[in-house]
Structure 1
């Protein structure tokens, strides 16, 4: 029973990223175009970031349940980030998925959805809601806050920051029992950090019975953009920064012309923002295996600046670990 409770607690706090497309511009034999899924199994939800052409096929090849798709965040309106959107939404409807889907993205996203719906005779009713984003908070609930910042690209493009809210530390049941505090609703109040007056007149502060506050995890997704201070700002102290690295350092001139990032720019953002892990994605097909430079060269360039860097590839999954205080609470 104890082991089951521990397993349930671990499952209740999973935050897992899965890359569904890691190529820039066009797909290749091994990489589809941009899309990243955030899986929140404790809520039975999947949040999608960008939806390039073929994303629904990638979902079918993954372990992610399309029926759990709840929110889609679009960075900008270039085709390699949105051409899979209408197909995916239509398929969800044809499959009888009753769950509503909220879309978040730049000005023009709503017009795009309406035009595609009109000329393809696809009707979503109230199932799909489109929210136009501006820098700042774009979504918030009891557990998460999603905010965005304007990046630097040829058209308006936004980076997204997903922040899990801090939670009170582990409640010390043994100490509560020793103080003669009756179990029940009062325990819940104290665990939430509230101050409670008992029937005998004693005043008990919840913070005295809880361990250190459990800091929420933070994920940041930045693409498409050349190096900019806005990316550094929204990436501050993130647990994971997903950042585009379209070009190698030697092709920096192309990056500046097309307002994309090099591997070294992505690393500089990670370093300046003090993130824990950088995962690079959105690689130009020019760095395919067998060419003069490949993505492993980009990894070497980035690690020279920011050692804790990984390369994304299609279907690569990464579970964002809980902070150390959380891990200690879990096994206690």
Structure 2
């Protein structure tokens, strides 16, 4: 079951030649989502071949570098005769601004587009095997982060033991793995727990958007397989990070360490650093011994199941 991330934009507020403003494309098997949509997002989608089959857009906040790509993208979908509905999620109190932005230079979309205001702690998308929930972040405006959290998976099926118990190969195997007891020809009943192991955890993907480090991020990112965290500044510019309500790479590393995240991707990199990304990675690694990546536009990360 695929869970992958393509970074479409990894710059801070000011784009650079190498970096577009913020946007992340997430695919979970047949479902596709955008998290933020900075200026030029649609071109990045074409450049990196993600496809346009997005069913929902999740905005962390309505600063321009996170939303100005949305009107053009919506118009392009209209030009392509999109019929599928689109849901846009945005922090509480910002829905009208998003609606005004979408229609600022044109008529309302030709397809159904619903804007939903969300609050921290709310499950904003609830699917059979996973959900997407909003969590508290701390920025200069109403802002949230988002976590895609999969349900636990069924435990491993012990085929060898099932055969030892006399279960014939075939439908009874599937019934047991699905949690149903089966009766053998001699009347013996085999219970699922005899041949199915403990539930296995699903995957967790967490994206903060712009934020100061928060306890809420630590809580929601506990044991996350991938934490994508604001790392606008190096630790040398910590004062500037505080003034602008962003995080340093070291602070992102500390959050990842405290949460026990498996992997950390740093994003929203200030244009002041140009291509000098070594200090950002070093600051994060000074706090966190897991896998650290300074994200760049076009980076693909596949999120595997936990061991």
Q: Same fold (TM over 0.5)?
A: yes
The answer for the alignment partner of 2:235 in structure 1 is 249
Q: Deviations over 1:239-262 (max 9, x none)?
A: 111001111111111111111101
The answer for the alignment partner of 2:296 in structure 1 is 313
Contact 2:84 2:111 survives alignment (8 Å)? no
Alignment of 1:33 onto 2:21: yes
Count of residue pairs brought into register by the alignment: 305
CA distance in 2, matches of 1:99, 1:187: 39
The answer for the alignment partner of 2:283 in structure 1 is 301
Alignment of 1:77 onto 2:66: no
The answer for the alignment partner of 2:212 in structure 1 is 226
Q: Following superposition of structure 1 onto structure 2, how do residues 104-119 of structure 1 map, counting pairs within 5 Å?
A: 104-119=89-104
Alignment of 1:283 onto 2:269: yes
Unaligned runs of 5+ residues in structure 1 are 1-12, 325-332
Contact 1:160 1:234 survives alignment (8 Å)? no
Q: Structure 2 vs 1, CA of residues 188 and 101 (structure 1 numbering), >3 Å: closer, same or farther?
A: farther
CA apart distance, 1:126:
5.5
Larger mean CA deviation between 28-37 and 85-94 belongs to 85-94
Contact 2:71 2:103 survives alignment (8 Å)? no
CA distance in 2, matches of 1:56, 1:230: 31
CA apart distance, 1:47:
1.2
Alignment of 1:323 onto 2:299: no
- Secondary structure in structure 1 of the residue aligned to 2:37: coil
Match of residue 105, structure 2, among 120, 139, 147:
120
Cα RMSD between the aligned structures? 2.1
CA distance in 1, matches of 2:222, 2:289: 17
Q: Following superposition of structure 1 onto structure 2, how do residues 1-332 of structure 1 map, counting pairs within 5 Å?
A: 13-40=1-28, 42-43=29-30, 45-66=31-52, 68-124=53-109, 127-136=112-121, 137-173=123-159, 175-176=161-162, 179=165, 181=167, 186-196=172-182, 201-289=187-275, 294-308=276-290, 309-324=292-307
- Secondary structure in structure 1 of the residue aligned to 2:55: strand
Unaligned runs of 5+ residues in structure 2 are none
CA distance in 2, matches of 1:264, 1:25: 20
Larger mean CA deviation between 157-166 and 171-180 belongs to 171-180
- Secondary structure in structure 2 of the residue aligned to 1:256: helix
Contact 1:15 1:319 survives alignment (8 Å)? yes
CA distance in 2, matches of 1:115, 1:60: 26
- Secondary structure in structure 1 of the residue aligned to 2:108: coil
TM-score by length of 2: 0.91
